[in-house]
Amino acid sequence: MPNDISRNHNVITPQTLRAARAGINWSQIDLATAAGIHPKSVAYHERGLASRTDEAAPVLSKMVDALQAQGVLIDGETVMFKATHNQ
């Protein structure tokens, strides 16, 4: 079940998102595919260019869900990985 902190799109920084993705050896395209979004959306978020408004929240939620499905836990600016995850 997704954690409430990871749902707060104002807490997840571009660096946190990049670290979470890199920690499971995913490219931006891998994350975009798993989240069902355009690869440019991942790039925008990771560069801090995506808006921090509610308009960006659904896209960020999809990315967080895809990462969590791979065992990535995001708690604020902290990224944790379960012992096993699919790469």
The pLDDT tens digits of the residues spanning 6-36 come to: 445 557 889 999 999 999 999 999 999 999 9
Task: Quote the pLDDT of residue 4.
Answer: 44
CB atoms within 10 A of CB 77: 12
Give the range of the structural domain holding residue 41, as residue numbers without chain letter. Answer: 4-81
Cβ atoms of residues 59 and 37 within 8 Å:
yes
Task: Decide if 50 is inside a domain.
Answer: yes
Q: Which CATH number does the domain housing residue 70 bear?
A: 1.10.260.40
As given in the structure block, the two tokens for residue 19 are: 């670290």
Distances (CA, A) of 42 to 1, 23, 47, 50, 52: 22, 15, 9, 9, 14
Tell me whether residue 22 is in a domain. yes
The pTM assigned to this predicted structure is: 0.79
Q: Please check whether residue 86 lies inside any domain of the structure.
A: no
Residue 23 resides in a domain: yes
Distance CA 21, CA 67 (A): 7
Overall number of domains in the chain: 1
Confidence band for 71, pLDDT divided at 50, 70 and 90: very high
Within a domain: 9: yes
In DSSP terms, 80 is beta-bridged to 73
